[in-house]
A and B are shown apart, each in its own frame.
Chain A
Amino acid sequence: MSSIAHSAIAVTRPNRLTEALEMLAARARSDAPVRLLAGCTDVLVEANHGGLRYRDFLDLSGLRSELGGLCWAEDGSLHIGALCTYSELLNDADAQLKLPMLCDASRLVGATQIQARGTFAGNVENASPAADAAPALMALDAAVMLRSERGSRTVPLDQYYQGYRATARRSDELITSIIVPAQPGPVSEQFFRKVGTRAYQAITKVGLSARIRRDGGAISEARVVATSMAATICRVTAVEDALIGVQDLCDDTRRRIKEAQTSALTPIDDVRSQADYRNEVFHRLVMQAVAQTQS
Chain B
Amino acid sequence: MTVSKPNTCLADAVPKQQVRVSINGTETTLQVRPFRRLLDVLRTDLDLPGTKEGCGEGECGACSVLMNGEPVNACLVPIIQCHDTDIQTIEGLAQNQVLHPVQQAFLKHGGAQCGICTPGMVVTAAWMCNRKLDAEQIRQRLSGNICRCTGYSAIVNSVAEALGADQGGEG
Contacts and interface: CB of A to CB of B under 8 A. Distances in A.
Instruction: Classify A-B as touching or not with yes or no (CB < 8 A).
Output: yes
Interface of A: 5-11, 13, 37, 40-41, 44-45, 47-49, 57, 59, 61-62, 87, 110-114, 116-117, 199-201
* Interface band, chain B: 35 or more
Given A10-B14, A201-B59, A112 B144 contact: yes
B143 A8 contact: no
B57 A49 contact: yes
Given A59-B80, A201-B143, A117 B10 contact: no
A167 B76 CA distance: 24
A7 B79 CA distance: 11
B34 A10 contact: yes
A270 B56 CA distance: 23
A111 B13 CA distance: 33
Interface centre among B36, B81, B145 (most CB of A within 10 A): B81
Contact of A44 (B34, B37, B140, B143): B37
B71 interface: yes
B33 interface: yes
B61 A113 contact: yes
Which of A41, A113, A116, A200 has its CB near the most chain B CB atoms (within 10 A)? A113
A37 B58 contact: no
Interface of B: 9-10, 12-14, 17, 33-37, 56-59, 61, 64, 67, 70-73, 75-78, 80-81, 83, 124, 140-146
Given A6-B35, A44-B76, 17 more contacts: A6-B33, A7-B9, A7-B13, A8-B12, A9-B35, A10-B34, A40-B77, A44-B78, A48-B76, A61-B80, A61-B83, A110-B58, A111-B144, A112-B124, A112-B143, A113-B58, A117-B76
Contacts of A57: 35
B71 A9 contact: no
A9 B14 contact: yes
B143 A48 contact: no
Nearest to B140: A200
Contacts of B56: 48-49
A6 B57 contact: no
B70 A87 contact: yes
